Structure 1
Amino acid sequence: MALVPCQVLRVAILLSYFSILCTYKAIDMPARQTYGGSWKFLTFINLVIQAVFFGICVLSDLSSLLTKGSDNQEQERQLKKLISLRDWMMAVLAFPVGVFVVTMFWSLYIYDREVIYPKLLDNFIPAWLNHGMHTTVLPFILIEMRTTHHQYPSRTCGLATICTFSVGYILWVYWIHQVTGVWVYPLLDHLSPGAKVIFFATVTIILNIFYLLGEVLNNYIWDTQKCMEEGKEKPKVD
């Protein structure tokens, strides 16, 4: 896809995340008034991750356009750093966390919505906003992966980062329970201490799997495209 359409697409996605975040923050929900506020929910954290990521994408696109044709080496270095940050964030946060939120939310929602998204929330959150938080994240991140090649970090570094994120969030959830006596998600009320350990370990494993899936998918898309381009460049033999 051409550069300009990619830019427009990223700007549109970024604006949609701003709209979702602003609308969500404007809703007066009791859960947001308790300890941790919106930051105790992985959905909200993911929205911030996606917004920051696409913000970096837009910034890198603008920087690329502004430095195009320039011989300024310092600008080139800064652009490379920005692109490296964009690729790193895509690999270790935007893709695995985004895919996890969508798949986990809808899996639990189908199983029993009360354990993840009680019907009471329908009084506060309109359907379109729910889909903006838990559905469109997936096609947006897949579109980004399809339109732009991202350089993944070393597998060890990537997996270590996503594990750190997972453990950090789990500790945050436990801390909130320690302070308030209430679990962030109703599902956790139904699990024994041992089952909680297994559940959180499984969550961490799934996040690691999604990281690997992103790496494989990224390589597959761009290796396939590279082969197609090379095939077109080969001269025809009569």
Structure 2
Amino acid sequence: MALIPSQVLRAAILLSYFSILCHYKALDMPAHQTYGGSWKFLTFIDLVIQATFFGLCVLIDVSSLLTNGGDSREQERQHRKLIGLRDWIMAVLAFPVGAFVVFTFWTLYLYDRELVYPKLLDNFIPQWLNHGMHTTVLPFVIIEMRTTHHKYPRRLWGLVAVCVFSMAYISWTCWVHHVTGVWVYPVLERVSSIARAAFFGTMTLLIFILYVLGEILNSYIWEQPQKEKEKNKKQSLST
């Protein structure tokens, strides 16, 4: 038996994201007043994705409690639709985008923080909020993956969806630069056009890899033990 029910964990994580988003939006930062506001940053988009995902998880938990013992086929059908949407968001957005934000942020930060998170931002963003945006995202989504089975779509369609998201954000980043003349991230200011294109391509490849890793991890947590149980059951029946 789990020490903390998964429903309580999800509700707590959702509340933490609401707190992080509220504190982040309350920051008086010059970048928030320019074109695109907070929406030009992948970190903020990821926070919205995570909050939406865990909000859906909590909605499903509440729905399960309210309809427990009911025999309405329509309720069951709607419940399955919500679960299908939850699983799709987990596979295509919550895990790969969350892992991408954590991995790329800390890699660039440790190499040269001025490329992604200039020291000037320490005057606006407290350390706990920085970690809430760039660190705890991955543990939270792994906890959810560990406590609840999520059905992944076919890999091809999953990668297509991830590609669409990646291209949409890259296009949005380029559009913000076209309008303002400034790149969202300092690292993009310091490289040539060819290097910038290579950077975008590499980042897209990375998020593809993270999608596949999420699929493998989910399979390892849930499907592999089930296969072992079935194998052991067959062996016990044959003896």
TM class, shorter-chain normalised?
over 0.9
Distance 2:37 2:235 in 1: 58
Listed one character per residue, the Cα deviations across residues 154-195 of structure 1 (whole Å, up to 9, x for unaligned) are 111100000000000000000000000000000001110001
Deviation, structure 1 residue 226: 2.0
SS in 2 for 1:212: helix
Amino acid at match of 2:13: I
What aligned pairs does 1:1-238 form with structure 2 within 5 A after superposition? Answer: 5-227=5-227
Distance 1:228 1:163 in 2: 34
Deviating beyond 4 angstroms after TM superposition, the runs of 4 or more aligned structure 1 residues are 227-238
Distance 2:171 2:205 in 1: 16
Distance 2:22 2:215 in 1: 32
Listed one character per residue, the Cα deviations across residues 102-150 of structure 1 (whole Å, up to 9, x for unaligned) are 0000000000000100000000000000000000001001001111110
Quick check: 44-53 or 221-230, which moved more? 221-230
Distance 1:19 1:152 in 2: 29
Name stretches of at least 5 consecutive residues in structure 1 with no aligned partner: none
Quick check: 24-33 or 64-73, which moved more? 64-73
Distance 2:228 2:122 in 1: 47
Quick check: 169-178 or 220-229, which moved more? 220-229
Deviation, structure 1 residue 68: 1.7
Amino acid at match of 1:61: D
Distance 2:225 2:17 in 1: 29
Distance 2:196 2:176 in 1: 15
SS in 2 for 1:69: coil
Count of residue pairs the alignment pairs up:
237
SS in 1 for 2:182: coil
Identity of aligned residues (%): 68
Taking structure 2 as the reference length, what is the TM-score of the superposition? 0.94
SS in 1 for 2:5: helix
Distance 2:234 2:52 in 1: 38
Listed one character per residue, the Cα deviations across residues 20-72 of structure 1 (whole Å, up to 9, x for unaligned) are 00000011000100000000000000000000000000001111121221110
Query: RMSD of aligned C-alpha atoms?
Result: 1.9
Distance 1:174 1:182 in 2: 9
